[in-house]
Structure 1
């Protein structure tokens, strides 16, 4: 009996020892090997701790630089990155334009070096894709759709969707975009009249609803009404998941039944149920070839591949969520910040309004008119430079890859700070924090020394599929607003950009609006 007890104890000790060795390998040794390979190439970074890496230090720095509302002192266009990502800015100053840091057992390499950014933009290898841990973190919101998938799955989905956002197709959507915008103009006209000629309007909520309406009409056609409820749940899910910046989430926390995780899982199931109901209704319909929208193209492409019902359903649900989220959040964010910048700069507002009125000539915009709006194009490009919808581009090396003269080990995550590279004085000039649309008078190549550092819609093969769609929608929306209204910043506005998958005003965007 005593011998059995000794055997059991020995077996338990051996299992515990093996488990501890495994944890040491996974949580420290594996990432330490990656760090050593990076160190040998000259990369430095804050020293990590066991289990947490730099997670605790990131939280400490964030708490020390608690984001406080900025004063309206004429500096609203100053760089907001130090408030949103104080740890990255602190380390950039200490370690340079490329440095390494760790969260849990995930090794990161921060890159704002122009040569490395260019190499990443030129890399077409499937060995460089969206990070695995980001895919898991954002799974409830975006699943394995075109935004987060990799390899053959990404290529297949991109081929399925890309053609629907070619310029000839986007031009055919102009009429629907105009139809969606007209109710917003009427709403603001009524508010201005009701307030005696000057209304304090929180425009960000209205613009988000408008953009959701555009996506529903243009991409989901007859499923427009069902899209309203899906949008509402996606917005709740997005707010739930954005309560903690993804950079300072320990990967293991996504498995714990925390309050946030439980809410995210619940919303994910509700959204999937609603989308599949829309799928069921659409598949029961006979859609003529001339009436096919993006939703129909996805259905036909996915279910024709004989992937199995469960896999096909997942792909349809995930891509619908991708289009819903990316398609309307990007435009709503860009439009919000553009109107704020025009409110701050009445001279540019007047110039853009004059152009819009001359081009439109009292008519509703069409594709040919949009092409003639050069002034408005410059304004949009500059707004996207100062306030890009997303602030970070993420990639992971699935195999060892070489960029320029740098060897990126397998498993390293790369992070490019869009908002930082858009404001580097050595590229954009000493006035890089100022709103100067004229810098784009000769296009992107004339705006800065290194055009590949202008990346508001991402870079390389993974650049946003819907960027042409977004710019056309922005031109329609802004030209119609400018032709009808003039506006200035409300005294109730508190400048505090927040990172919620896209850059949004934390306390809303109120403007004082009146008839032009």
Structure 2
């Protein structure tokens, strides 16, 4: 009897294992074969084409091959239509995106402004057709959302914060975070931004004095620290020195994650590789540091800053969509720490580079700042009057946008411009290809020309939706007002105190590291501006 029961038990266990294996095989077959094939078939029947995918890896091998082919090719080369031999700027091409994303350029030329490609099993519809881009930008439906793959590939950096969440969770987070970054509240942060900038510039002044009237400074590192200081004080009532460990961990996370973001390496994120172990350790350490700050808050009395609003919002919410209280706080803090300072610092760095390359615009912007400010303390009304500086920043954001893609996942079948897009498709709008499209911006689309923004963004191109440095639609960056205030303060004070030119040590190599950054930093020659 016991032997029969033992045999029966083994049979039950074997049956469960077999059923589990069959379920797993069925799931993988659906995920990796049937679903991608169905999406491709529906789109191809509507005339949308693209490169043929390989089994499991999709078009990643071909993408990698095209990128490798571009490696080592300099983008600091003279363009054919530049006639001014003395113009240092003529030797710099702003078409860096052709080197980073050669596959998009090749496939767009071969298959048209809307084409289909695969990143492993994920079917991507790459869109550079302006009419479709406009419809997507104006769509407010929750049918379009942040790609679910974002929280998987960048989960250690963004978790399920506002940049990676969807549905009611995203709406709840936006209601908590967005009001703290409205323009009226951001204006109240002016003095804080001015004080932090002034403190940084004392370091530059000392360096100029030490090196003898002219100093070589890697400005992007200094601006990262400055922006981190501002976001810490503005949103968390601490300073950079107290929060530098968190910023350091997040920066390291960004660097490690960015290495494999566009390649086959992204498919191995679950395996205990050396890089993944490093990511998991950094994620754990970052979480511990943030929770330490939260614990300090719970034991004391603090002003109602962004962190305090997050804490209260998490407590008052009856539904965090399965997230624990701690994870809700940690994920949004990481998002704010990363998105709130890294992007602003890089735009400021690119702005100084382009002003160094174009001394005429540097002189115009400086003259405007000195005329408006004089010896008076900088205030929000002065920033509003700085038309030339605003135009410069807008043009820098056009040529060097920090975020390079608007990506949306289709959660239910939807229609744009007579194209029925099936559920599960990932929509991808490559921002640089729109920002430098001559059909939208004119024959000088690849050149630095702030004059195009003389009458504002609406009239700068043939379609206002072609300009999206802060994203598009209802999911546009909640921190854009703070970013613009910071950029104007940083640049106006720097211009009032320094003249600068490009160092011969600078190598022009914009790189995609989740966001757009200078691979070798931005090195400028700084000297005190004449009174």
Same fold (TM over 0.5): yes
- Residue 262 of structure 1 is matched in structure 2 by 277
**Residue in structure 1 matched with residue 453 of structure 2 by the alignment:** 440
Report the equivalent of 2:3.
none
What runs of 5+ residues in structure 1 fail to find an aligned partner?
A: none
Match of 1:58 among 34, 58, 63: 63
Is contact 1:178–1:364 with CA below 8 Å preserved after alignment?
no
Question: Secondary structure of the equivalent of 1:486?
Answer: strand
Alignment of 1:282 with 2:287, yes or no, is no
CA distance in 2, matches of 1:6, 1:104: 37
Q: Distance in 1 between matches of 2:238 and 2:354?
A: 36
Aligned length, in residue pairs: 508
Question: Does 1:93 find its partner at 2:89?
Answer: no
Match of 1:217 in 2: 233
Q: Tell me the alpha carbon deviations over residues 165-196 of structure 1, each in whole angstroms, 9 at most, x when there is no partner.
A: 11110000001001110111111111111111
Secondary structure of the corresponding residue to residue 52 of structure 1: coil
Cα shift at 1:341: 0.5
Cα separation, 2, equivalents of 1:383 and 1:18: 52
Deviates more, 1:259-268 or 1:214-223: 214-223
Match of 1:474 in 2: 487
Does the aligned pair in 1 maintain the 2:229–2:239 contact within 8 Å? Answer: no
Deviation, 1:381, is 0.3
- TM-fit CA distance, 1:59: 1.5
The whole-number CA distance in structure 1 between the counterparts of 2:331 and 2:431 is 26
The Cα shift of 1:353 comes to 0.2
Distance in 2 (CA, whole Å) between partners of 1:49 and 1:391 is 26
- Which deviates more, 58-67 or 203-212? 58-67
Q: Name 1:107's counterpart in structure 2.
A: 123
Contact conserved, 1:223 with 1:278, CA < 8 A, in 2?
Answer: no
Match of 1:68, SS state, is: coil
- State the alpha-carbon separation in 2 of the partners of residues 206 and 23 from structure 1: 48
TM-score norm. by structure 2 comes to 0.92
CA contact (8 A) 1:67 1:83 kept: no
The change in CA–CA distance for 1:427 and 1:364 in structure 2 (over 3 A counts) is same
Residue 326 in 1 paired to residue 336 in 2?
no
Shift of 1:299: 1.1
Residues 72-91 of structure 1: matches in 2 within 5 Å? 73=78, 74-91=90-107
Matched, 1:43 2:48: yes
Distance 1:384 1:7, change over 3 A: closer
- 2:313 corresponds, among 301, 308, 322, to 301
Superposition TM-score, scaled by structure 1 size: 0.94
Q: From 399, 410, 414, give the equivalent of 1:397.
A: 410
SS at match of 1:45: coil
Residues 75 and 96 in structure 2, CA contact (< 8 A), matched pair in contact too: no
- SS of 1:44 mapped into structure 2: coil
CA contact (8 A) 1:68 1:496 kept: no
Q: What CA distance in whole angstroms lies between the structure 1 residues aligned with 2:319 and 2:243?
A: 26
Instruction: For residue 292 of structure 1, report the CA deviation from its aligned partner.
Output: 1.5
Task: Indicate the RMSD between aligned Cα atoms, in angstroms.
Answer: 2.2
CA contact (8 A) 1:334 1:387 kept: yes
Q: Matched residue of 2:349: which SS?
A: helix
Q: Take 1:410 and 1:307, find their aligned partners in 2: how far apart are those partners?
A: 26
The alpha-carbon deviation at position 145 of structure 1 amounts to 0.7
TM-aligned CA deviation for residue 460 of structure 1: 0.1
Give the superposition deviation at 1:283.
1.5
For 1:163 and 1:20, locate their aligned partners in 2 and report how far apart those are by CA, in whole Å. 47
Q: Contact conserved, 2:75 with 2:93, CA < 8 A, in 1?
A: no
